[in-house]
Amino acid sequence: MFRKIDQILKKSPFYRMIAVVSLVAIGESFLNLFNHRFLFSNMQTTYTFLFLYGAMLLLSKLSLPKWLLFILVYLIFFTIASVEMFLDHSYVDYTSFIVVGGVTLLVATIVTIGAVEIKRRGYR
């Protein structure tokens, strides 16, 4: 039984994304039940996995050079993080821009490497 599940998960990264997001969502739901919180509260981890892995799958379909793909991902994530911080009123001074830039640099690196690896392995 586990061999069949392993073969299905190795077949496509989309199936792997569904499995990872489902397991994280189930784990978060159990933690919320044990702590007597609402069932779907604190699901940021699930949304983060879904967003990052979905971005990897979408970017693997583009036929751009690696450096341009990295710059595109960096600009998208930096814009999203900056808008979110402006809406939360959490920008304090210039160091907030530096921290957001560093974090989005790390996220862009992870997403770009994942997208290039998915493309290199030839998944469809």
At 105 the pLDDT is 94
Per-residue pLDDT band for 118 (boundaries 50, 70, 90) equals confident
Expressed as residue numbers, the domain containing 25 is 2-121
CA-to-CA distance for 45 and 23, rounded, in angstroms? 11
Count up the domains in the chain and report the number.
1
pLDDT above 80 for 10: no
Chain-centroid distance, C-alpha 34: 26
In the chain, the largest separation of any two C-alpha atoms, in whole Å, equals 55
